[in-house]
Amino acid sequence: MFALNEIALKNYLSLIKFSHTIFALPFALIGFTLAMSQDEHNFSWDKLLFVILCMVFARSAAMAFNRYIDRDIDSANPRTAKIREIPNGTIKAKSALVFVIANCVLFMISGYVLNPLCFYLSPIALLVILGYSFTKRFTALCHLVLGLGLSLSPIGAYLAVTAQFDILPILFSSIVLFWVSGFDIIYALQDESFDKKFNLHSIPVLFGKRNALFFSRFLHLLTASILIYIGLNYFGNSTLFWIACFVFIALLINQHRLVKADDLSKINLAFFTSNGIASVIFGSLIILDLLF
């Protein structure tokens, strides 16, 4: 029985690509630390726990819903047919939908525990992160919707503590928006031909691989510009911030060096490794700077 449960857990963790939580979690912790660094707010393990739970539940719901909605597309796509859990029969579609509903409910409950504002905004957050799964059917801007969904993590964590909006966490959210949108365009390059065949929308389908890479670079240029703006206006001469900024921008440049329009062999290295390292290093250094 234990072995079966362990296998089921691994299957669901694979369904939601739990390891990819590494992209947005450091930014959620930045938002939380920004709020806690204010004199009127004291550190709370309870709040930190529910901030993390909110993110885990929201992301789990979004990923599982995407797999549920895209099950027919994933079955037809040679890249995903054998490796994704619903097409290969590892997880039943109905079970995935139940999993989505359970995570949505748990997300809203966690928001309620944090404060009324988080609870009232939780349906809007779910609308964005679940709605992304439909966007590739009608707009090439689907990458920006994905970025918007993940960008809710810094401001959401900040709201969990302060129950009010502020410009700095919104700026950190905008970093996530353009950064994630840019690397999702890179990841979508590998499905350009399939998406065209099935009338799915993406920046690579709209502009072609080479121009899509230019668009991705433009979004990452915006990311770098906002980072520098934050540094100049909020962190001044902070050594830790500028080290974090340098490392993050260097890794953005590195992923564009790895991926070429005619060579996608290193796309996974650019997508997961480069962005995962960037997020962890950047988040850790910014949090240390805010704390000390």
- Tens of pLDDT, residue by residue over 34-70, are 999 987 888 889 999 999 999 999 999 999 999 999 9
Does 271 or 165 have the greater pLDDT score?
165
Give the type of residue at 281.
I
pLDDT for the residue numbered 6: 62
Predicted pLDDT at 8: 74
Kindly state the average pLDDT of the residues 93-120.
Answer: 96
By the 8 A CB rule, do 117 and 38 touch?
Answer: no
Mean pLDDT estimate for the chain: 93
Could you tell me which of 74, 276, 66, 16 has the C-alpha nearest to residue 191?
A: 74
With cut-offs at 50, 70 and 90, classify the pLDDT of residue 1: very low
- Whole-angstrom Cα distance, residue 43 to residue 24? 21
What angle do helix axes 2-15 and 93-114 make, rounded to 10 degrees?
Answer: 80
By C-alpha distance, which of 30, 14, 117, 29 is closest to 64? 14
The pTM assigned to this predicted structure is: 0.94
Identify the pLDDT of residue 18.
67
Q: How confident is the model at residue 15 (pLDDT cuts 50, 70, 90)?
A: confident
Q: What is the maximum span of the chain, computed from C-alpha positions, in angstroms?
A: 57
CA torsion 22-218-231-248 (nearest 10°) is: 40
Residues 65, 135 contacting (CB under 8 angstroms): no
Cα(109)–Cα(50) distance, integer angstroms: 10
DSSP line for 148-195: HHHHHHHHHHHHHHHSS--HHHHHHHHHHHHHHHHHHHHHHGGGHHHH
Burial environment of residue 96 by CB neighbours within 10 A (0 to 12, 13 to 18, 19 or more): buried
> Which residues contact residue 191 at a Cβ distance below 8 angstroms, ignoring those fewer than 6 apart?
77, 79, 200, 202, 204
Looking at 84-166, list the stretches that DSSP marks H as alpha helix, in order from N- to C-terminal side. Answer: 93-114, 116-135, 142-162
Give the chain's domains with CATH numbers.
2-291 (1.10.357.140)
| The pLDDT value given to residue 7 | 67
C-alpha angle with apex 80: 79 to 82, nearest 5 degrees? Answer: 105
Task: Give residue 4's pLDDT.
Answer: 42
Virtual torsion, Cα 47, 226, 178, 34, nearest 10 deg:
0
